[in-house]
Structure 1
């Protein structure tokens, strides 16, 4: 039996996930939700190119020497779809922003000895946030599973990243349609934990969403729908051209 000695089987999920996160635009080296909300509004047709141009003007943004801001100029095109889709997909793959649904409270509890500002959950915002997070996570499962299934064999890690970025860009319009399809108003949620290193909730349609130091995991009926290297309860492994030809030569 001839074994290719430079090939290793590696889970597809972390490579797909990290590639998509890295594809989301950054501004000055960091994420910027405000800018990306404007770009995604342009992609959805909620804002016109003229309105986006006014946003750039009002914020004194020069697009000429900035690759990310150049996406804001002109009519809708595939690279804008890809950037918006990557940003949306990445929102459930990074530490949650609890400010989405917390608001300052004027009441101070008896336990608040140091006078720090206290916050309370705004239930309406919480429901909107969790509905969105679940929809995004489920769209990630669908598109990431498809990409994992159709990736070619025996590429290098970097070649896989290039191919994943290409496929995700092609599928960006479908991805955003899936997010909308999974966005169900009227779901109810049970927030189980909300700390700096763990965020867990269940939904009335049977999902358990958890984000902790290991990243996102999503379960349905006890099955790993996303996470622990699995997608839809299945392992997706890539036979990766991991070592240089020198390794194969050494092991002859």
Structure 2
């Protein structure tokens, strides 16, 4: 049996994840939740093209200075869907923003000798945040697993990134439908850990969500639903054209 000497099996998940992360729009080199909330509202039909244009005008934004802002101009089109979907998917692939559910505490504790600002958890906002995070993580699992299964063989890493971005863009409307389908009001959560390098909670429908220095992991019934190179408990590998043709020549 002949083995292609330039091909190596590489886990699909980190390539898919990093590609989707890189596809999320940035503004002046950084993420901007406010801008993306407006764009996603436009995609969902919650804002009109005129309202998006007014947002740019009110914030004195010149679309010619930043390619990402061109997404705010005109009627709904596929690249807007792709940008919004990538942004939503990326929200669980980066450190969580605790400001989503923390608020200044009304009263300071007696042992706060340094008079530092203290915060308390707003339970209603916490439930909304965790419900959203779980829905996004589950939609990521579904669409990332599908992409991993249908990718062609023996591409270079960069060619895989191009194909992943293309496929995710095509699936963007389906991805956003999956997020909505997984958004279940009435779930209860148990927040187990909340600090800079670890954020862990469980849900009443059986999931364990964890974000730490290794990134996102999601478990269900002891199975790696997302993370450690697995999706839905299965490992997905890509046969990657990893070396130059020179390697094949040297190994003849």
TM-score range, shorter chain: over 0.9
Give the TM-score taking structure 1 as reference length: 0.99
Instruction: Specify the SS of the correspondent of 1:243.
Output: coil
Name 1:107's counterpart in structure 2: 107
Instruction: Specify the SS of the correspondent of 1:145.
Output: helix
Instruction: Specify the SS of the correspondent of 2:194.
Output: strand
Alignment check: 8 A CA contact 2:93 2:215 kept:
yes
Unaligned runs of 5+ in 2: none
Alignment of 1:141-160 (within 5 A): 141-160=141-160
Offset, 1:3: 1.2
Aligned mates of 2:2, 2:52 — CA distance in 1? 58
Give the TM-score taking structure 2 as reference length: 0.99
Aligned mates of 2:111, 2:216 — CA distance in 1? 33
RMSD: 0.5
Alignment of 1:19-38 (within 5 A): 19-38=19-38
Residue-by-residue CA offset, 1:122-170 (whole Å, 9 max, x unaligned): 0000000000000000000000000000000000000000000000000
Name 2:174's counterpart in structure 1: 174
Name 2:51's counterpart in structure 1: 51
Name 2:76's counterpart in structure 1: 76
Alignment check: 8 A CA contact 2:16 2:144 kept:
yes
Residue-by-residue CA offset, 1:86-119 (whole Å, 9 max, x unaligned): 0000000000000000000131112211111000
Aligned mates of 2:241, 2:199 — CA distance in 1? 36
Name 1:241's counterpart in structure 2: 241
Aligned mates of 2:66, 2:211 — CA distance in 1? 33
- Give the number of aligned pairs: 252
Name 2:117's counterpart in structure 1: 117
Name 2:9's counterpart in structure 1: 9
Unaligned runs of 5+ in 1: none
Find runs of 4+ consecutive structure 1 residues off by over 4 angstroms.
Answer: none
Name 2:195's counterpart in structure 1: 195
Aligned mates of 1:201, 1:105 — CA distance in 2? 22
- Structure 2 residue 226 is matched with structure 1 residue 219: no
Instruction: Specify the SS of the correspondent of 1:64.
Output: helix
Name 1:136's counterpart in structure 2: 136
